Chain A
Amino acid sequence: MSVSFDSVAVGTELPPAEYTVNRLTLVKYAGASGDFNTIHWNERIAVEVGLPNVIAHGMLTMAEAVRVVTDWVGDPGAVIEYGVRFTRPVVVANDDQGAVLSVSAKITELLDDRCVKIAITCKSQDQTVLGRAQAVVRLV
């Protein structure tokens, strides 16, 4: 599966998706990434430093958000730039549901070399959690 540069335009929307992040996800991500910052798994420490509860690793949110792009383009190696601002923490309650990330994306610019710029929107509880989330992808 691949996406042709000739098949897209500014404004083309990518299929949106939702991703669930619960406490188990945080434990798995901590282990896989090596980021054992206590605010991502220890509620007592998180509250002590002024957070409402345990929060997701920003990098986990960033990893989930780009899946809308990589699932669309097929070859994840086509992503040549990706950047975000972490504007609001994703609070992960100690329940079965956790947090749901709602991700959408659309093409904002056509670039040289069959590349496109994509703006990504990532929301949790109806609030945007990533700012200036953008990827540059090379299409075929």
Chain B
Amino acid sequence: MALNPEFIGRTYPAGPSYLVGREKIREFARAVGDSNPAYLDPEAARALGYADVIAPPTFAIVLSLDAANAALFDPELGLDYSRVVHGEQSFAYTRPICAGDELIVTTVIENIRSMAGNDMITTKGIITTVDGDPVATATSMLVSRGEDA
């Protein structure tokens, strides 16, 4: 089923804020096997100039994809999530995410297109503090594989 192109440009306001926990960052870092002290040790992070442990560069996906689900699971969009694979991902950081941050994500549907029987949807998650200070953006391109693709 083709995705509804009328969704291009739609903005989904931020939902409830996400409080970044020190243990959540540690759990994420350990899951990827990364023992960089900036992720695990508050003293090491402070020595680098941060208030507490910082998150690995890809941690922002935990917030951004969750926020994008509001759009992706909209029945009118027509996305069959069981056929979805991740096509592209990029992040741009104003600063690293840090334990203690209280963050919100505004999601914009940047593009929807079809190619070779597959549907592609690009969402941009704009991550800021609850006070509106920019932290990062996460741009995701998901591919919904066509029945014959």
Interface residues of A (CB under 8 A from B): 19, 25, 28-29, 31-35, 37, 49-50, 57-60, 62-64, 66-67, 70-71, 75-77, 79-86, 89, 135
Contacts and interface: CB of A to CB of B under 8 A. Distances in A.
Interface of B: 24, 27-28, 30-34, 36, 38-39, 48, 50, 54, 56-58, 61-62, 65-66, 82-93, 95-96, 139, 145
A42 B13 CA distance: 34
A33 B61 contact: yes
A120 to B, nearest CB: 12
Contact of B82 (A34, A35, A49, A80): A49
A59 B140 CA distance: 11
Contacts of B87: 85-86
Contacts of B88: 83-86
Contacts, number: 101
A90 B30 CA distance: 20
Given A63-B56, A70-B57, A86-B86, A33 B62 contact: yes
B31 A33 contact: yes
A85 B142 CA distance: 11
A113 to B, nearest CB: 14
A84 B90 contact: yes
